[in-house]
Amino acid sequence: MTSATPHDLPYRPCAGFMLLNAENLVFVGQRIETRAHGTWQMPQGGIDPGEDKQAAALRELGEETGITPDLVEVIAPASKPLRYDLPPELLGKVWKGKYRGQEQHWFLGRFLGSEDDIDLEAHDPPEFNAYRWIEPDRLPELIIPFKRQVYREILEEFRSHIPR
């Protein structure tokens, strides 16, 4: 019997949301478990079996930020899913070792609410301990290094929808 290699593992289905405010800045949250590293990311998470990708992205946005779907105008889906592989030191440690990385389905949307509508403790346990709005071009520098290429691709994918 041979043992499985990382390339034998599937990608975890994931949905993410790039949320713009009225000033065309992007929402990023600081992950609680990686706070020491200062890593920030856009809301994203796993897609449940049978769940619609856009519904999953909006659910994850709501769980991580407290922002309800009625406060979001969906502008566009990404034209294709984007993948990343976990670095060797994380393989077998995250997601119970079932996945080699994620296949992410991204959506771009506009936040129609106010700062009072954001509640990082809407989900128990919370995933973010802080948030901020940043210039879109700063996204790749704030994300954990192994996800940077995906963030560059997301940014390029949605650039034509983001007024300058």
Which of 42-46, 59-63, 93-97 has the lowest average pLDDT?
A: 93-97
Q: How confident is the model over 10-54, as pLDDT tens digits?
A: 889 999 999 999 999 999 999 887 544 568 999 999 999 999 999
Listed in sequence order, the DSSP H helices in the chain are 53-65, 139-142, 148-158
CATH H-level, domain 19-161: superfamily: Nucleoside Triphosphate Pyrophosphohydrolase (3.90.79.10)
Q: Three-state DSSP class for 70?
A: helix
Residue 1 has pLDDT above 70, yes or no: no
The amino acid that residue 62 corresponds to is: G
Q: Could you state, in order of their start, the residue ranges of all structural domains in the chain?
A: 19-161
Residue 5 has pLDDT above 70, yes or no: no
Max Cα distance, the chain (Å)? 57
Query: Are the C-beta atoms of residues 15 and 53 closer than 8 Å to each other?
Result: yes
The pLDDT, as a whole number, for residue 110 is 98
